[in-house]
Amino acid sequence: MDNYILKIDCDDAKGLIYKISDVLYKSDLNIVKNDEFVDSDKSRFFFRAIVSGDVANGNLVHKLEEVMPKSAKIELMKKRRKKIVIMATKESHCLGDLLLKEYSDDLNAEVVAVVSNYDYLKELVDKFEIPFHHVCHGGLSRLEHEEKVLEVLQNYEFDYIVLAKYMRILSSSFVSHFEGKMVNIHHSFLPAFIGANPYKQAFERGVKTIGATAHFVTNDLDEGPIIAQDVINVTHEFSWRDMQKAGRNVEKVVLSNALDLVLEDRVFISFNKTVIF
C-alpha cells in the first residue's frame, strides 16, 4: 500500500484536527504520522500527515474541502522521487555534492539537468552523465539571458530549481515563474552580510562565526523564507579566503539538508517564513 503526503494550511479554527482525522478515518485511511502547528501570530493552521491506505479511490481532497475552511490549501501527493534542475556558475562544491548524493542514492531526487552561465562545470557534470547547458550571459541583457535559460528549462519536467551557487541576480520576472519552487544557498547566516562577497564582509567585520543559509527565492533578494542555517567558528587567523574555504563545507551541508526537507514535502511557506515538520 502506498504512502501519501497530505499538506493542509488554512486560517485557524476550532476542531480542524478532528475534522481532518474524521474524513481520513471514514475513508479507511490511517495516519502514519502527523504534525501540526498554529501560527498564533497570523492565526494560521498548518498540518502535514503521512497517510497510508487506498487513497486513490476516494475523492479525498474534495471531502476535505467540504469540511475545512474556505481558505484551506490542500495538497495530496504520492510519495515520489522529485525532479530537480540545478543552476550554478563556477564553484563546484554544492553542485558536486548533490551530484555525488544522487549518484549514491542519497538524494531523494533526480537531477534532470544542470544550467550554468559558464562552461567551467561542464566536465564535472559530464562525468555523471547529466545534461549540461551552458547559457552564456555575455553580451545579453539580464532579461535576454533569462529568456534563453527559460527556453532550456522548457525542455524539462521538474519540481524544483536549485541554485547551487548561481551567482547572478534573477529578475522578478524569472522568479515569478518558480514561486516556492526555487531554493538558493546564500553564503552567510542571513540577515548578516546581504549582498556581494559575504566572506569579505565577514572578514572585515571581524566576526567569530560564519555561516550559510538555504532559502526559497523571492523577489526580495536574500529575503526569501529561510529553510536551514548553520555556522562554524572562525578566528583572527582566517583570511577571507580561509573563511570561504571553510564556508564551503557549511554551504553544501546546509543546502543538502534544506533540500532533504523540501524534497520530502516537509516545508510550508508562510509569508516570508517557513514552517518545517
Residue from the set 3, 43, 176, 209 that interacts with a copy of itself by CB under 8 A: 209
Residue from the set 227, 243, 262, 263 that interacts with a copy of itself by CB under 8 A: 227
**Is residue 208 part of the contact set for a copy of itself (CB under 8 A)?**
yes
- What is the contact mask toward a copy of itself in residues 248 to 267, using x (rule: CB under 8 A)? xx---x--xx----------
d(CA 161, CA 180) in angstroms, rounded, equals 10
**Is residue 225 part of the contact set for a copy of itself (CB under 8 A)?**
yes
**Is residue 211 part of the contact set for a copy of itself (CB under 8 A)?**
yes
**HEC states along the chain?**
CCEEEEEEEEECCCCHHHHHHHHHHHCCCEEEEEEEEEECCCCEEEEEEEEECCCCCCCHHHHHHHHCCCCCEEEEEECCCEEEEEEECCCCHHHHHHHHHHHCCCCCEEEEEEEECCCCCHHHHHHCCCCEEECCCCCCCHHHHHHHHHHHHCCCCCCEEEECCCCCCCCHHHHHCCCCCEEEEECCCCCCCCCCCHHHHHHHHCCCEEEEEEEECCCCCCCCCEEEEEEEECCCCCCHHHHHHHHHHHHHHHHHHHHHHHHCCCEEEECCEEEEC
**222 has catalytic annotation:** yes
Catalytic residue among 126, 222, 230, 242: 222
**Is residue 31 part of the contact set for a copy of itself (CB under 8 A)?**
yes
**Is residue 106 part of the contact set for a copy of itself (CB under 8 A)?**
yes
Q: 48-67: which residues touch a copy of itself (CB under 8 A)?
A: none
**Is residue 21 part of the contact set for a copy of itself (CB under 8 A)?**
yes
d(CA 113, CA 126) in angstroms, rounded, equals 11
Name which of 2 and 22 has its Cβ closer to a copy of itself: 22
Name which of 157 and 237 has its Cβ closer to a copy of itself: 237
Name which of 48 and 145 has its Cβ closer to a copy of itself: 48
Cell numbers at 59, concatenated: 475523492
Residue from the set 1, 8, 34, 110 that interacts with a copy of itself by CB under 8 A: 34
Query: Interhelix angle for 198-205 vs 240-263, to 10°?
Result: 130
Q: 122-141: which residues touch a copy of itself (CB under 8 A)?
A: 124, 127-128
Q: What is the nearest approach in angstroms of a copy of itself to the Cβ of residue 177?
A: 23
Interface contacts to a copy of itself, rule CB under 8 A: 14-15, 17-18, 21-22, 24-25, 30-41, 91-93, 96-97, 100-101, 103-104, 106, 124, 127-128, 189-193, 205-209, 211, 225-231, 233, 235-237, 239, 245, 248-249, 253, 256-257, 270, 272-276
Residues designated as active site: 222
